[in-house]
Structure 1
Amino acid sequence: RPRELVKGDTTKAFERGASYLNSARTLPEIAEAREAALQQLRKVSQDEQADPPLRVGIIGEIYVQLEPFANFYLEETLGHMGVTVRRSIYLTSYTKHDVLSTRGDLRSQKLAEPYLPLRIGGHGQNSVGDVIRYSRLGYDGVVQLAPFSCIPEIVAKSLMPYLSREFGIPVLTMFIDEQTGRTGVQTRLEAFVDLMRQSREKRSAEIGAAV
């Protein structure tokens, strides 16, 4: 979405691809539908000369991350603001780490251990480790999502200001409840995107001055 020439083309291509997968019933049909869906996305015209888009990691509670209606279509909104988004949880990774195994995502847990050494339920410990991971990967910011009163994410949230300073990455925490509206979410995201752009420009200026 950040590079698309016609706003909305990526979403339309994604929805067509999702419809192919939804109609597939056998493994060969799924493989064929997957390739057809990817072809739809490859056809989207992009601005190859555009500056590299901002990159944001999405962390937090699984349902609010995965369900667009619950997070007010946050990924799509950020994409139209010129931001590339990557979630910390996908259904395949959750199935691998938390359903077929009870160990969880050991990569994120190991990063979190110096700051939150215990698994506190939900994805709280993962959220702490994911902030560190996205910082090391060079992301411009992190958005933490959770439903109202989610205790594991509340515990993780208490560490976010420290982690943000320690690892030099902006963090926006959003707890979703019945009072949350799409306009309010968009306003907060716009302010956060401006903050990330300023942070990137500041880093670039510091690097230029050092050279």
Structure 2
Amino acid sequence: MKTKYTKVATLAFALITFESLTGEANAATHLVDFSQFAVPGGNWNSLTSTQNTNFPLIDSTGSNLGVTLTHNLSSDSNITGGWTAGDVDWVATAAASDGFYSGTSAMITFAGLGIGNYSIRLVSAEDGDSGGGAFTSTSDIQVAGVFADSNRLGTSANGDDWNTKTDGVNNWLQWDGVASSGGEISISIDASSSGFTTINAIEITRTSVPEPTSSLLLCLGGLGFISLRRRRS
């Protein structure tokens, strides 16, 4: 027969193992390609504008970890001349050369994220001269209400009045150390000097995973309490 002591010990091991495995599983990268005019190879999530509510995402290894994406951008755009830097780092030309656009305000929300901090890189590029319904837009782009920490080219651009042509055609915005709130991270795009918002591609990567110290301390405390009661009895 299992004693209370061994039951708590078993529970402690199970909790610690679960948190460790969950942390490892969610320490992943998700790549999102907005629009299917051009579809990149590899494990990109290429969306249509109608795939907009709790769309299940695979990570860069092809695994489904329960992460979903919801957005309210309404239209696809074939921005054939929007991105000029080619395949560089995480960006695939096919992902950055088309995108979604919408009205004066757009929201993109990742849900089902694990506890921890994330790095987010985002392309919003459109030159307005390429045809295919393309147009230049200027927007304020924020993650969790904050402008970007840096960008690919090391300029001062941080998403405040981000112009898809002068800022975006060969550049991306980057946020570091973004904490998920209730398993969610939201990106807002609000048109400033234009009436449209634009998004081409996003990379979101979990960069830090908390150690399972909370479960460990809780269970060790329970073990100590039971041990003390056993000695006194």
TM-score when scaled to structure 1?
0.25
- Radius of gyration: which is bigger? 2
Structure with the largest fraction of helix: 1
TM-score when scaled to structure 2?
0.24
Structure with the largest fraction of strand: 2
